[in-house]
Amino acid sequence: MFTRHHDIDRLTKKLLDLAGTEPGESWRQLVLDTGVHPDYLISSHGRVLSLPRMRNNPRGPVLWPGKVIKASKLKNGHQRFSVRDGGKSRTVLVHRAVVRTFVGASAASSGITHVDGDPSNNALSNLSFESSMPPRTDEPVQRAFIQTQPSPVPATTHPATIHPATSRETSLDLGSANANLLIAYLHRFDRERTQRAYWNDLRRFFGTEHVNRELAQRATFLHVNEHIAEMERNDQKASTIKRRIAAIRGFYDWLLALELVERNPANRQLLRRVRRVSARDRVVFYLSAEQASALVAAAAANARTGVRDQALVQTLLHCVLRRSEAAAMDVEHIRPLGSFTVLDIPQAKGGADQYVKIPDHIDAIIHEYRNEFNITTGPLWRSFSNNSYGNRLSAHAIYRIVTKAAEDAGLPTTGAHTLRHTGCTLAIEAGATIQQVQAHARHKSIDTTMTYVHQRDRLRDSAADFIRVTDADAHVDDKS
């Protein structure tokens, strides 16, 4: 009988020997914006190791030997790698991970440049950044737009664990000097996804998960404007910038109602203008009917998971679900309603309980999948990987299934939300009314639904089709 801890130590030493240490290179535990990750090491030269550890599979725990993580290259030349963070997979830019781990969060959130102009050279000595913070020694330094932090405060509860009925934070005196106003504010929202979104947006602005009255009062519109400027420098979408600023504005509206602050630093009259994108100019990527058919065929081609993947893709397409809604699906959510079959969507976007019709042929495909894997209750979409067999698929896992099927079908990069756009667009193309599509997609505003019509009409009735210059253009006219 082997000693697991002994074997883990032995395999860790073997992995480090395999990776080697280059002159001037040092290794530390990886630091992300969520904290220190002891399962990974990153070097000052930008190399990453996934350390040996115990993993669970259907036959019980197994010892995983670890590996050297190979970074992939983006179109702009920067490198990224994937890690498991909080049970989910996420991608991380190598140069930012190096700076965050060896210098601190403040520097990692600033503009980072590669001194030699080579974005694949991620050695710390080749990275230039702006930071007034000293290099970190043991604990990660928090990013903050409000530069002078209050005295250290204890860590707080992660938003995923917050519940008004159980959290000890609910009894805090909000007027006390060190009360965590951020945690108290999150109790306004009953959906975990909404809590997490506000948590991330506000923590990104304040640079800490503990926002007391002193820190909240220190913020000015100058901090918010700098926050906007940095997001623009990082090429964030206008919709992302507006969402994050709306989170700050909502938080301060709440503080004003409690008379804990005297002003809202995110007041619209004080902020720099964020570039606007009208609904008519918004580009919505969707698949044609032929491309959607090719995607379904590619999803079904996997010998091990094809039945599940095809059923999942078809459900996303025909029920125009958000990936979070698909991930939350239970067998019990599918029920008859008169002569139809519907899917209940508890606490959908906006907080309301909703339902959507499941077409008969999609219901049959779901039943085939359930029978194939003997799924009678609980989560509908399940993992078949060795590490998480039988567990509920996460929203990110659903995204990866769709992108992999699109890649196999030779299609452009296609995410799960693209299937929602595709379902809406194909319904309109086939003759569905705007009101029918709005109801099926559960759009709160018909302006959202009209986006699909604006794009179709703009392309179908384009002035480009009337321009005739060469004989070839005239020949096209003759054929049409």
Token digits for 329? 């699906």
Residue 28's pLDDT is what? Answer: 85
List pLDDT tens digits, range 383-422.
988 878 889 998 889 999 999 999 999 998 898 889 999 9
246 and 167 assigned to the same domain: yes
Residue 277's pLDDT is what? Answer: 55
Residue 349's pLDDT is what? Answer: 67
CA dihedral 178, 182, 183, 188 (to 10 degrees): 130
CATH number, domain of 28, equals 3.90.75.20
Residue 281's pLDDT is what? Answer: 55
Q: Is 41 exposed, middle or buried (0-12, 13-18, 19+ CB in 10 A)?
A: buried
Token digits for 232? 């623009």
Q: Is 43 among the domain residues?
A: yes
For tokens 């570039």, name the residue.
275
Residue 87's pLDDT is what? Answer: 74
| Best-predicted range by mean pLDDT (258-272, 365-379, 385-399, 464-478) | 365-379
Q: Is 93 among the domain residues?
A: yes
List pLDDT tens digits, range 68-116.
999 998 888 899 999 987 778 889 999 999 988 888 776 777 678 888 8
Task: Single out the residue of 272, 259, 361 nearest to residue 318, CA to CA.
Answer: 361
Q: Is 175 among the domain residues?
A: yes
Residue 130's pLDDT is what? Answer: 57
Q: Is 457 among the domain residues?
A: no
182 and 98 assigned to the same domain: no
Higher pLDDT, 467 or 338: 338
Task: Single out the residue of 68, 66, 72, 51 nearest to residue 122, CA to CA.
Answer: 72
343 and 438 assigned to the same domain: yes
Residue 252's pLDDT is what? Answer: 94
302 and 382 assigned to the same domain: yes
Mean pLDDT of 245-264: 91
Token digits for 318? 């025909």
List pLDDT tens digits, range 34-55.
777 878 889 889 999 988 888 7
CB atoms within 10 A of CB 58: 11
393 and 446 assigned to the same domain: yes
Task: Single out the residue of 355, 359, 360, 362 nearest to residue 442, CA to CA.
Answer: 355
Residue 161's pLDDT is what? Answer: 40
102 and 250 assigned to the same domain: no
Under 8 Å between Cβ of 143 and 106: yes
Question: What is the reported pTM?
Answer: 0.53
How far apart are alpha carbons 337 and 39 in whole angstroms?
A: 48
Q: Is 280 among the domain residues?
A: no
If pLDDT is split at 50, 70 and 90, which confidence band does 225 have?
Answer: confident
Residue 468's pLDDT is what? Answer: 78
How far apart are alpha carbons 22 and 384 in whole angstroms?
A: 39
Mean pLDDT of 145-169: 38
Higher pLDDT, 350 or 126: 126
Mean pLDDT of 307-334: 94
Q: Which of 84, 110, 128 is the last residue of a domain?
A: 128
Q: What is the 3-state secondary structure (H, E, C) of the chain?
A: CCCHHHHHHHHHHHHHHHHCCCCCCCEEEEEECCEEEEEEEEECCCCEEECCEEEEECCEEEEECCEEECCEECCCCCEEEEEEECCEEEEEEHHHHHHHHHCCHHHHCCCCEECCCCCCCCCHHHEECCCCCCCCCCCCCCCCCCCCCCCCCCCCCCHHHCCCCCCHHHHCCCCCCCCCHHHHHHCCCCCHHHHHHHHHHHHHHHCCCCCCHHHHHHCCHHHHHHHHHHHHHCCCCHHHHHHHHHHHHHHHHHHHHCCCCCCCCCCHHHCCCCCCCCCCCCCCCCCCHHHHHHHHHHHHCCCCCHHHHHHHHHHHHHHCCCHHHHHCCEHHHEEEECCEEEEEECCCCCCCCEEEEECHHHHHHHHHHHHHHCCCCCECCECCCCCCCCCECCHHHHHHHHHHHHHHCCCCCCCHHHHHHHHHHHHHHCCCCHHHHHHHHCCCCHHHHHHHHHHHHHHHCCHHHHCCCCHHHHHHHHHC
297 and 426 assigned to the same domain: yes
- Inter-CA distances, 395 with 104, 160, 169, 346, Å: 30, 15, 29, 16
Portion of the chain with pLDDT greater than 70, in percent: 81
Q: Which range marks the domain in which residue 404 is found? A: 289-452
How far apart are alpha carbons 94 and 102 in whole angstroms?
A: 12
The crossing angle, in degrees rounded to 10, of helices 446-460 and 416-429 is 70
223 and 301 assigned to the same domain: no
Token digits for 36? 């220190």
List pLDDT tens digits, range 160-178.
344 333 343 444 566 677 8
List pLDDT tens digits, range 367-382.
999 999 999 999 999 9
How far apart are alpha carbons 92 and 207 in whole angstroms?
A: 19
Residue 273 pLDDT greater than 70, yes or no: yes
Lowest-pLDDT range, 2-11, 138-147, 280-289, 318-327?
Answer: 138-147
CATH number, domain of 345, equals 1.10.443.10
Token digits for 438? 């709005």
374 and 446 assigned to the same domain: yes
386 and 416 assigned to the same domain: yes
CB atoms within 10 A of CB 38: 10
If pLDDT is split at 50, 70 and 90, which confidence band does 150 have?
Answer: very low
Q: Is 475 among the domain residues?
A: no
Number of domains in the chain: 3
293 and 264 assigned to the same domain: no
Q: Is 144 among the domain residues?
A: no
Under 8 Å between Cβ of 102 and 28: yes
Q: Is 151 among the domain residues?
A: no
245 and 346 assigned to the same domain: no
Residue 317 pLDDT greater than 60, yes or no: yes
Residue 286's pLDDT is what? Answer: 87
Residues 6+ apart with CB under 8 A from 265: 219, 220, 221, 223, 224, 248, 252
Residue 475 pLDDT greater than 90, yes or no: no
